[in-house]
Amino acid sequence: MSREFLSPRTGHARAAAGFLGDAERAAWHDQSLWLVRQKRDRATALPEWEALRDAGAALKAHAMSRLAALLEQFERTATANGVRVHWARDAAEHNAIVLGILAEANVTRVSKSKSMLTEECGLNPYLEAHGIEVVDTDLGERIVQLAKEPPSHIVMPAIHWKREEIGALFHRTIGTPAGESDPDRLTAAARVHLRDTLLTAGAGITGANVLVAETGGVVVCTNEGNADLGMHTAPIHIACAGIEKIVATRDDLGVLLRLLARSGTGQPVTSYTTHVNSPKPGGAMHVVLVNNGRTSRLADEAMRSALHCIRCGACLNTCPVYRRSGGYSYGHVIQGPIGAILAPGVDLGAHHELAFASTLCGSCADVCPVRINIPEQLLTWRERAAAAGHAPRGYGVLFPVLGWFLSRLDRFEWGARIARRLQRWLPAALLGGRANPWTRPGRALPVLADESFRDWARREGRHQ
């Protein structure tokens, strides 16, 4: 790629250009996700949908306003029910707690159902470095795990994989017949493979879609039933959850369950919604409550509502940028619009450019089941990035210069006259070369009119 003044040479824009390099695959990716968005539209066409979104936003804001009390209530109730509750300040502490539980029980193989929190904490590589085998049980997660990749979508981890590629991967890793690419048969093969593996797992790790303070319970939603297979088969269940997952009551849970699957996959509810309030007879259950930067977000009034996220993935599916740039372009465990407002909060220096990977079209805010004001937060991150010296390359020069020209009519018209001359005398090839990001991907140079509106108005004696 040629050097450009404005486009970063690394990061989202470059990764997106790479993804779009395979135009056919990019179009397929866009269409796959658009179909999910359309399913969402159909599933959310309820008369009370907007009121439900209001309730979702309100119950989350309420939970954030009483977060400490709710977590204490959860701990009290869960402990009384025989659950061990652990607290982790950060990812390292979370991983160490999980390892400690496994080591104490001499566990060498664990199953894990989909949990974005454990991805955030890097639990898999950590446990593997300590000699523990981790088997991801969600089919999509298993696919990317076998391929040694991270998920590219928080709900559909392997949305970027084509069936033939999965067939080849399964042939290589779990021994399906060469050339097999039928989704039914590949899924059946994965089922057998996973069931065999799970029988010998010493613990089942799950995430938590919701923690309910009132019951001290953990709620896990899956379509495959894989979380159940993991947590009920092994003697130990470990649920890992960010502290923001808590809600006050079962009534609140009911609202979220109505919103979650409808928004995410266009289903009225997931096939399995599991409520675990206590360990199974003879078994053990642990809940690890993780902070890992969430309290900083909580203290940041303008950005706080990002903690409302229920990880439904609707904003990814609707995002015209995500659909065309792929999950990996975000370089963060959470992708898409919600990732673009979460990641800069984790490390502004590393992720500031995600705030610019949006047209601010607002579709994300309109599908968000808990009404997170994503475009507004993107704008705030842009401002903070600029203030912290992290603006995209060239912005710190271009925009002050532009601002100078645009701040007074005489400067503006003087600049426009110069530009008009340049346009007349310089060859278009020079202005529109490969170094110009406007023209490089296939866009003609805009043409300045021979006479501006104001010049016309003056000529007509209308400038009054």
Partner 1 sequence: MRVALAVPCYVDQFRPQAARAALALLERLGCDVRLAFDAPCCGQPMYNAGQHRAARAAADNWARASSDFDAIVMPSGSCTHYVRHHLPALLDSRPSAHAARVTYELCEFIAGPLGRPTLSGRFPHRVAMHLGCHAQRGLRLGGASELHQPVDGSMRTLLAGLEGLTFADLDRPDECCGFGGSFAVGEPDVSVSMGRDKLADVARHHADVLVSSDPSCLLHLEAVARARGDALRTLHIAELLEEATR
Partner 2 sequence: MSARDVILTAIRAARVPPAPPAEAKVEQSADLATLREQFLRALTEVGGHGTMRLTGQSVDALLDTLLGANRAHTMIVRGRFAVAENAAVYVDAADLAQRNDIVREERMVVIVPADAVVPTMHEAMRLVPAGPGCGWFLSGPSKTADIEQSLVFGAQGSRAHYVILDADENAATAG
Residue 203 or 343: the one with the smaller Cβ distance to partner 1 is 343
**Using the rule CB under 8 A, is 429 a contact of partner 1?**
no
Shortest distance, CB of residue 372 to partner 2, whole angstroms?
15
**Using the rule CB under 8 A, is 318 a contact of partner 2?**
no
**Using the rule CB under 8 A, is 194 a contact of partner 2?**
yes
Query: 50: left (phi > 0), else alpha (psi -120 to 50), else beta?
Result: alpha
**Using the rule CB under 8 A, is 189 a contact of partner 2?**
no
Residues 28-67 that bind partner 2 (CB under 8 A): 32, 35-36, 48, 54-56, 58-59, 61-62, 64-65, 67
3-state secondary structure of 150: coil
Question: Which residues lie closer than 8 Å to 76 by C-beta, 6 or more apart?
Answer: 216
**Longest Cα separation, the chain:** 91
Which of the ranges 38-46, 100-108, 114-122, 230-238 carries the binding residues for partner 1, by CB under 8 A? 38-46
**Using the rule CB under 8 A, is 82 a contact of partner 2?**
yes
The number of residues that bind partner 2 (CB under 8 A) is 87
3-state secondary structure of 293: coil
Question: Which residues lie closer than 8 Å to 215 by C-beta, 6 or more apart?
Answer: 77, 250, 275, 277
Residue 96 or 379: the one with the smaller Cβ distance to partner 1 is 379
**Using the rule CB under 8 A, is 191 a contact of partner 2?**
yes
3-state secondary structure of 32: helix
| C-alpha to C-alpha distance for 258 and 237, rounded to whole angstroms | 26
| C-alpha to C-alpha distance for 134 and 318, rounded to whole angstroms | 32
Residues 430-459 that bind partner 1 (CB under 8 A): 437-449, 451-454, 456-457
Query: CB-side exposure of 44: number of CA atoms within 13 Å?
Result: 25
Find out whether 446 and 428 touch, Cβ atoms under 8 Å: no
- The total number of residues shown for the chain amounts to 464
Shortest distance, CB of residue 74 to partner 2, whole angstroms?
12
Contact partner, 166, from partner 1, partner 2, none, Cβ < 5-8 Å per class: partner 2
Shortest distance, CB of residue 274 to partner 2, whole angstroms?
5
Shortest distance, CB of residue 378 to partner 1, whole angstroms?
9
**Using the rule CB under 8 A, is 404 a contact of partner 1?**
yes
Residues 341-380 that bind partner 1 (CB under 8 A): 355-363, 365-367, 379
